[in-house]
Structure formats: structure tokens, C-alpha cells
Structure 1
Amino acid sequence: MRSAPRIPGPRAAADDFDLDAFPLPPPVPATEPEEPRPAPQPPTPEPESAAAPPAPSGPPAAPALVLPHRVLKALLGAWALAACSAEEAEAVEAHLTVCAACADEALRLRDAVGLLQTDRSLDLDPALRSRVIDACLSRRPANIPVPHWAAPYDAETARLDALLRDIGGSEWHAPVRLKWFEGERAVNRKTTVAGVIGHLMTVDGLVGTALGMDVLLGDGASGRGVDWPLSPGARTEKYWSGARRPLTRAIRGPWREQSHALIRTVSFAGRKVAELSVSYGDFALPMHDSLLDRAFECWVHGGDIAEAVDYPYEAPSAAHLNRMIDLAARLLPAALAERRGSGPAGPARHLVTAGSPGRSLHLEVEGSGGGDWYIPLDSPAAVGSPAHAVAQVALDSVEFCQLVAGHVPPVEAAAGQQGDREAIRDVLFAAASLSRL
């Protein structure tokens, strides 16, 4: 027989293991209290040769627990979890020194317990899906690949769908409070998890309409040829108010089917579809930016749902997060000009022509997906440059996205500010004004 591997000792024994099948030796019965004794007299000295050895102190040691091999083998799992009593643990450890098969099994069980007790998060890395797909496509390229500008939407809808698969039926009715900014104040709207998915499906339908797809609105009505508003907020309110009954988990199927159809359609449409305009009523975006915007909203509302049902939800991969931040930075000059036109923001201080440099704000976004952007302050047509920066703002990447989503007040957003205070305030409020229902 080969020598048994050395096995580390277990942790402190637990008290919740069922010992009915293998009872311990009966306890020693308690002795009756002794009668009072008279005070002891001094002992009479005896010759050294007649002295008796000292009596052992304490009760006699209990005999070692003896268990058959099949019982000891069955106790290995409990021993690895430190769920054995002290006597059982001693018996198992003695057995492991003479039985190589059980010693090998004990090592495997102890390694498994170590995996169960890891301090690391068991949630999957948000970038894992992208890495797996990239590895697969490197071996066998897709006949019709997904455009790179549609990849963030593909990834975020898949992540949100994974969250929805994990929640129970009752959690679809959990209250969710959607937040955004209107003008100078924060506003919110209360709905449910199912209501959020209905909102995403309804606004995604604007992209489908631009692609010529039949989209579902209301209780299964086709969106083509129906007089539905283009504004995302008004469109969602009409959808919610037109529902005949409270939305349930059944909404997940149509939403996911529509997201798959959008990805398939842009993949087969060719390169020209990237510049196709998608109207949102008051503004429009090219298709490549529109799907990036939908990916951003899918992540933000996925976080809202996760918070409502107490579910862990991570930020997008660094590459996708960087593109979302870049989209917001490119929209900031127009948002700033719109606020100036309506009054909340201060007037431009310099007149600049298209393509010429003017004053700019250095937006430094730190963390995953971060980078540096120079936001033109005097005209959307101007070019921001480091040489003309009059202010600097530093934010964490996720915090900046929360600001753009209307989840963080502008006055609390920036971790670092330097330079023109008015320019900093105008840009931060312009970032919050990008949010909407």
C-alpha cells in the first residue's frame, strides 16, 4: 500500500451535524453530591519506602470512536466542511493515515470547499461574452458579421436578458423608479420591472421603424402606419396607458425578439445603413449612434432593475463603455448650445467659425473606458483643443455615465474641478440634460 498524502486538519467543528445515525459513547453519569466531611487531620508521616505514587487527576479519557470503513468514507464530506464532532474528526483523521483512497478523496473535497469559500465575486465579467465571441470568430469568421457599432447593443441586451432569466415571477412587479433631468430639476417616474422592459421595447421600436421593420406597440398592434409619437417619453406613456392589464414577465419575449431582429437587420443591410437617420422627435441620430444610445439606456435601466430586485450588475466592458462616453461627449456641445438658447446657460463669450478653435473644457474621465475629451464651449461647430482649455473637470467613468443618465445631480458629480466655474457648471448641467425617460 502506498503512503497516504498528508491531509491538513479541519476547521473548528460545527454543532449542526446530525449524529443520530452514529451516536457517541454514553456520557459518564454524574455522581451524587458527597456528604460533608470533617476537617482533615494532618497526615502521619510515613517512611519514604512506603510512599504510594500520586493518583492521576481528572476523569478517565473516553475511548477512541471506532467506526467501520463505509461510515468513515461517508463522513469525508462532513469532515472537509468541518461539520464533524471532535470524536468523528479524530476517527476520520486516524483513518486517513492508513487508507490512501480515502486520503485522495479527502484532498479533492478539501479543494472543493476552498472554491466554495472564495472571497471573489462569482458574477461573470461583463467582457466575458465579448471575449468568447471574439475567440470563436477568430477560428471561424461569421458569414454575416455584426457591425462593430452594433456590438454594444448586442452585448447589453444579452446581459439584461440574462438578468431577466434569473428573477422570479413576482419580481417582475417590483417597483422601479426611473430618474432623469428636465431643465434644472430632477424628475422621476414610478413603474415596475415589466414596465421598464416595455419602455425599452417601445423606444427600440423607433430604430426598427427607421429600418422599415414591423414593430409591436400596445397590445400587439403593429407600429407601422399607426400614429404614435416619436418622442421617447410620450411614446412610452402612451404604451403604458394603453396596456389593458399590468405588464408581466410575458413582455420579455417580444422585447428580446425585437432586439434580435434589429441586430439581424443591420447585419444584413450593409455599410450604408450606419448613416441612416433615426428620428426621436426633437432630435435625430445616425443609426450607428442610435444603437449605441440604445445600448447605453439598456445598461442604465438594467442597473435600475438590478437595484430593485437586489441583483449584482456590472458596468459594460471598457471598450463599449468608452464608446458610450464618447457619444455623450460628442452630444455635449449641441446640448450646451440648446441650453444657451433657452436661457439656463451663460452666453458664449467668443464668436468662432466652423472648424476654428475656441474656448474648451477638458473633460477627464477616469477608470475603465475613460479618456480625455475637449468640449467646445462657444459653438457646436468649433473644435475643442488643449491649447484653448479654460477649465478642467475630472470624473469616474461610471459616475459620468450616471450624470448623463440623470441619476446623479450635476452639483455633486465632478470629483475634481479647476478653472472657469461658470463653464464647468454649464457643461455639467448640459450633460444631465442629455437624460430622458
Structure 2
Amino acid sequence: MTTDHDGVRELLGAWAFGALRPEEEKAVPRHLAECESCAAEAERLRETVRLLDGPRGTAMSNGSGESEGVLALALRARPAVPQVAAHAAPYAATVAGLQALVRELDGRWSTPVVHDWDAHATLAHLLAADEPLALRLGLDARVPASPVPEGTSWEEAWSARTADVIAYERQRGPEETVTAWAAQAAALLATPEARDLERAALATTLMGIRLPVADHFLVRAFEAWIHTDDIGRALGLAVPPPPEEHLWRLVRLAVRILGMALGTAAPPVLFAVAGGESDAQWVLGSEDEPVRAELVLEPVDFCLLVGGRYAPEEVPRGATGDEGAVRNVLERAASLSWL
């Protein structure tokens, strides 16, 4: 075990989660006693983990024999988020909720979840999905790098990377994958960009889309929630949606991205998201033509559509006017999913 600065810094996430190997347990505290910068970083990570972990509890019966433990844990854990800025709070809350759900996976990691992934692969996918933002913010990768030939599109590079990470994590136990994912999440939430909106205002291109770093935190929250819901459904457990304030942040981001995807040539549609906000309506598409149709979706249904969990023809909706214009909006929304 090396005791150099960089070597110890690599272990701080595992230290915060109490997941060091025996040979590392003495070296890390010894270095922290001598290195002020590592000690400060370690304290930030441990506080983040403590808040994310939330209160623990035991499963309860709802009277029908179905376990409610995950709901109780998630609802109690979600409000206990780190002191991050508003743009990172949805991601912090979703990480806390997923950590609560993970406790229900003991002995069930091979449960099929989504695509061809079981629960273990789904957590590995999230580890890969958070990585581009982590790398952009100066964090280190937790899985060996994948070779990317010059000229590879971001879609091909991303598909190869997530496959590589899943294959790598298959060689490890689910608990190690959870620790790596959670430590990376904690490190993201400990970055200055998670706490300072001015720093998070810098725009950067990740996963094929240029957004402020603040919005990339919301994208991470969106995907983490979608996969938390995937795992809950696979286990037969209802996972609550994000708190209303967080949900509407995700809605507004998804609408902005949908508007960018539709451009100004699409037939204009008055799009509204029901409930919560009186001004939650937008004209999507051309600004030079009369509105051809009106479309209304519930906020959770809209997010699940954008997340690829509803087919365009199946999502519950209210619609009037030009059916083709409505279908164009729904199909474009569904096409946004890279989850």
C-alpha cells in the first residue's frame, strides 16, 4: 500500500464509506493527520456520505404482506441531502433514495431490470453514466479507461464505455459496485460546482449536448431517478417520484432540451405540463405559424416519456388539433432518451 498523496487521495471515497481493505486502514488516517488538503477533502466526503446515508430502518408490512421498507427508507433519507446548491439538490436526493433502495437488493442482484441488465449491471451503468461529469469536474475514473478510436461518435463511445464498465463490474461483487458508484456520487456532490452556482454556470458538452454544468447535474438526477424506478418496479416496490420542487426542475430542463431537438421548423404545438405551476406551458416548434395543436401531459408521465419508459402512443395525454403535430412532439420527446 502506497502512502503517497495521490495514492491516498484515490482511496478517500472508500474511506468515507468505511470500505477500505485491511492493509489500507492504517495508512489513510496516518496521511490525513499530515496532509491538510486531503483531510479537508476527506471530511467533506464523509459528511456527504453521512447525509446521503440517512436513517436506517427495518422493513415494515403494510398489512397486505408487501414490504414497505424501501418507501419508508427512501422518504426518510431523501430530505437528508448535503448542503449543495439548488441545482445539485435533485441529484443528491435521488442518490439518497437509490441508496435506500439498494438495501432491498440483498440476494436479489440478478433480478432482471431493464434492457438486458440485471440490478448489478444497472448500478454499473449508473457508475459509467456519472463518469463524464465526474471527469469534467476533475475527479478520477473508478474503472480503467476504454480505448476510443479517433473519429468515434459520442454515441458509439458511450455505448462501448458503458459495456466496458458493466463487464468490469461483473468481475466484482455487487457491494463493491455500489461502493464505487456511491463514492463517485459523493465526490461529485463535494465538488465546488455542486455548491456554487457561479462555477456551475460554465457550459460544457457531455453526452452530445452542451449545457451549463448545473443542468448536467439535473441530467444526472433524471437518469438516477429513472433507474431507481426501474429497479423498484423489478422488485415489485413502488418508488416515490422526486419531491415536487425537484420534479419541476427536471420537467423544465426536459422541455428546454425538447425545444432544442424540435427546432424552429416543426409544426407549432402548445405544450402544457399539468399541475404544480400555473405557467407550465410552452409553444414548441415554429414561431412563424399559428399553433396547430395543444398537448397536455402529467409531469411524471412526461419525464418517463423522455426517459424512454413510455412509447409515444402509450403515454397518457390530453390532446386537441393536428394529430400529426402532436405525434411529432411525442416521438421527438421519446427519442431524447439515452438512458
TM-score w.r.t. length of structure 2: 0.70
Give the equivalent residue in structure 1 for 2:191: 265
Of 172, 179, 189, the residue aligned with 2:109 is: 172
CA-to-partner distance for each residue in 1:330-351, whole Å, 9 max, x for gaps? Answer: 01122223xx9xxxxxx546xx
2:211 matched residue in structure 1: 285
Structure with the higher helix share, 1 or 2: 2
Flag the 1:195–1:247 CA change in 2: closer, same or farther, 3 A.
farther
Alignment of 1:400-419 (within 5 A): 400-419=302-321
Q: What residue ranges of structure 2 are gaps of 5+ in the alignment?
A: 1-60
Per-residue deviation at 1:127?
6.2
1:118 and 1:364, CA in 2 relative to 1: closer, same or farther beyond 3 A?
same
> How many angstroms does 1:431 deviate by?
0.5
Deviates more, 1:299-308 or 1:271-280: 271-280
After TM superposition, the structure 1 = structure 2 runs for residues 19-418 of structure 1, keeping only pairs within 5 Å, are 123-124=71-72, 129=77, 145-168=83-106, 170-177=107-114, 189-217=115-143, 221=144, 223=145, 227=148, 230-231=154-155, 232-243=158-169, 245=171, 248-266=174-192, 270-337=196-263, 348=266, 360-367=268-275, 372-378=280-286, 389-418=291-320
Change (3 A) 1:244 1:366: closer
**CA distance in structure 2 between the partners assigned to 1:296 and 1:365 by the alignment:** 17
Q: Which amino acid aligns with 2:241?
A: A
Q: CA deviation at 1:371?
A: 5.9
Cα distance in structure 1, aligned partners of 2:77 and 2:323: 42
1: CA distance between counterparts of 2:274 and 2:170? 46
Structure 1 residue 436 displacement after superposition: 1.2
Q: Which amino acid aligns with 2:305?
A: L
For the structure 1 residues 302 and 201, does the alpha-carbon distance in structure 2 shift closer, same or farther, using more than 3 Å as the test?
same
Q: CA deviation at 1:309?
A: 1.8
1:214-248 per-residue CA deviation (whole Å, 9 max, x = no partner) reads 1212xxx3x5x975985443321232245563652
Assess if the C-alpha contact under 8 Å between 1:202 and 1:236 holds in 2. Answer: yes
Output the CA distance in 1 between the equivalents of 2:104 and 2:276: 27
Letter in 2 for 1:396: E
Q: What value does the CA root-mean-square deviation take over the aligned residues?
A: 3.3
Q: Distance in 1 between matches of 2:63 and 2:198?
A: 52
Q: Structure 1 pair 158/369, CA: closer, same or farther in 2 (3 Å)?
A: farther
Q: How many residues align?
A: 272
Identity among equivalent pairs (%): 30
Give 1:390 shift.
Answer: 2.9
Deviation at 1:146, TM superposition (A): 0.8
Change beyond 3 A, Cα 1:315–1:244: closer
Q: Secondary structure at the match of 1:412?
A: coil
When structure 1 is superposed on structure 2, of 392-401 and 201-210 the one drifting more is 392-401
Separation (CA, whole Å) in 1 of partners of 2:324 and 2:283:
14
SS in 2 for 1:374: strand
Q: CA shift at 1:364, angstroms?
A: 2.1
Q: After superposing the two structures, state which structure 1 stretch, 293-302 or 392-401, moved more.
A: 392-401
Q: Distance in 2 between matches of 1:214 and 1:241?
A: 19
CA distance in 1, matches of 2:331, 2:313: 8
After alignment, is 366-375 or 410-419 more displaced? 366-375
Bigger Rg over Cα:
1
Structure-2 separation of matches of 1:316 and 1:331: 20
Partner of 1:435: 337
**Equivalent residue for 1:45?**
none
Q: Structure 1 residue 421 and structure 2 residue 329: aligned?
A: no
Find the aligned partners of 2:229 and 2:262 in 1 and give their Cα distance: 27
Change (3 A) 1:116 1:318: closer
Deviation, structure 1 residue 316:
0.7
Conserved? CA contact 1:364–1:370, under 8 Å: no
Please give the per-residue CA displacement for 1:369-400, whole angstroms capped at 9, x wherever unaligned.
7862213312xxx59xxx95332111222111
Deviation, structure 1 residue 328: 0.7
Distance across 1 between alignment mates of 2:136 and 2:80 = 31
Q: Quote how far apart the aligned CAs of 1:260 are.
A: 0.6
Task: Render the CA deviation track for 1:305-348: whole Å, top value 9, x for unaligned.
Answer: 111122221111111111111111001122223xx9xxxxxx54
